[in-house]
Structure formats: C-alpha cells, structure tokens
Amino acid sequence: MDPLYFFWGKDLLSEFSAISLLCAGIKSFFMLPNLLYLPALFCLFCWIIMLSRAQFKNWRLFLTLSGILFCLGFGFMLMVFLTGCCYSNRALSVLNMFMRWKSFAGALILVSSLFLLVWSLIRPRRKEITWPVGLLSTGLFGLAFGLSLVFRVTDDLQYLMRTITDPELADQGLSLLFVYALGTTLPVVFLLVLCFLLFVFSRNRQYPPVLFFAVAFLILAMTGILMFTGHLGVYGPLFVATLIRG
C-alpha cells in the first residue's frame, strides 16, 4: 500500500491547479514515444488541407469543421480513457483494457486511412459525397489517435486520478482531467494551424499528386499496423504499478 494513500482525499485536490495540469498535458504530448506519431499526424493534416483546397470553394470553413471534429474526437477519447482508469480497481483488467484499446486504435486508423483514400478519389463535382466522407474521415482519425493511449500517466496525474475515485470528489476531479485533456489537445491544434500556414499563401488548388497520396497513405497505414501489433504506443506502466500496490 502506498503510504500517501492514507492522505489522499479532499485536501489533496487543493494541491492541483488548472495551469499545472494544462502544462502537464502539453508536456505529455512531447514525450519521446509520442513524437513517433508526428509524421502520421503531419501527413494527415497536409492531406486534408490539400484535398479541402482542391474540392471546396469555402475550403477554410470545411477545414475548420474538420479540425474541430478531429480535436473533439481526440480529446473525447482521452477523457473516456482517463475516467475509465479512475473507476477501475483491478490492475489486470486495466492492463488488458490498455492492450485491447491500442489494437482497436490501430484498426481504426487503418479504416480511417481507407476513408481518406476514398475521399481523395472522389472528384469535386460530387460534393454530396465529399462533404460527409471528408468529415467522417477526420472524425474517425481524431477518435483513433485519442484511442491510441500513447500518453504516459505522470506522477501528479496518478495521484489526481486515484483521489477522485471518491464519489464526493468526482465532479471537481473530472474538471481537472478535462483541463489535462485540453492541454494534450493544444499541440494538435498548433500542428494543424502550422500545416494550414504552409498552404495558406499558395493559390494552387490542384489535386495533390499521386505520389503524395501513396506516401501519406503508406505512413498512416504503417502507423495503424504498428499500433495494431503493439509495436507503437505506451500504456503508462507506473499507473498500473500504482494500482497493483493499492
């Protein structure tokens, strides 16, 4: 039993601040294992921007909607993961959940890549199909990357998650988890804006070349396969060890 366990309670929540958890979420995104996802994210955002410019007159509006859907899916799945860990008392079941969800994330990225490829093959004149397929693919990618569970559970977040297992502390604790998820999502928003700025000053709205389609699809598909086979992604071993000790 962790000796700090007997002191965890309502007073401990005063040790956490929204700013500290926001910074912790941002920091977690830039951990080395998470940086392995950056090539896939960069290719995804460039692909979406190039297709939006080629297919839609109001491409900035479509890109904004796509970005919102991606970030909402990303943050939502992260919140579901953190909340689920807080209310699970058996370490082995949590570990099994990590491994299953990571496999599901890889499969979802593969499916989303296929949707994106279909969107790339649809010509602009078929807008009644391109809008829903495009938005569906971005939303699925947001869920998939949020489901990947690549974020390490840091020490301060462990204590917070363990504390709010008390039902009386759930409301205040979940709001702090939301702040952490927001901090983790902010770098994703920054990367999307950076990719947007790479293209905003260009007036070329031609379809992306086939070579770009092939390279981007291969990178995304390989990321999904590595996640599905368990070779990419981490599951916070310190948190699992804490549950075992408890």
Domain residue spans of the chain: 3-245
pLDDT number for residue 69: 94
pLDDT at position 246 over 60: no
Sign (positive or negative) of CA dihedral 66, 69, 70, 71: positive
Q: What angle do CA 55, 58, 61 make, to 5 degrees?
A: 110
b/e map 164-176, b = 16+ CB within 10 Å: bbeeebeeebeeb
Task: Provide the pLDDT confidence category of residue 5 given band limits of 50, 70 and 90.
Answer: very low
Among 17-21, 125-129, 153-157, the minimum mean pLDDT is found in 153-157
Asked if pLDDT for residue 170 goes beyond 90, the answer is: no
The answer, yes or no, to whether residue 224 has pLDDT greater than 60, is yes
Mean pLDDT of the chain: 76
Instruction: Please write the tens of the pLDDT for every residue from 82-109.
Output: 666 666 554 445 545 556 666 788 888 9
Rg (CA), the chain: 20
Tokens matching residue 40 = 């896939």
- Span 191-217, mean pLDDT? 83
pLDDT at 166: 65
Q: For residue 8, what pLDDT band results from cuts at 50, 70 and 90?
A: very low
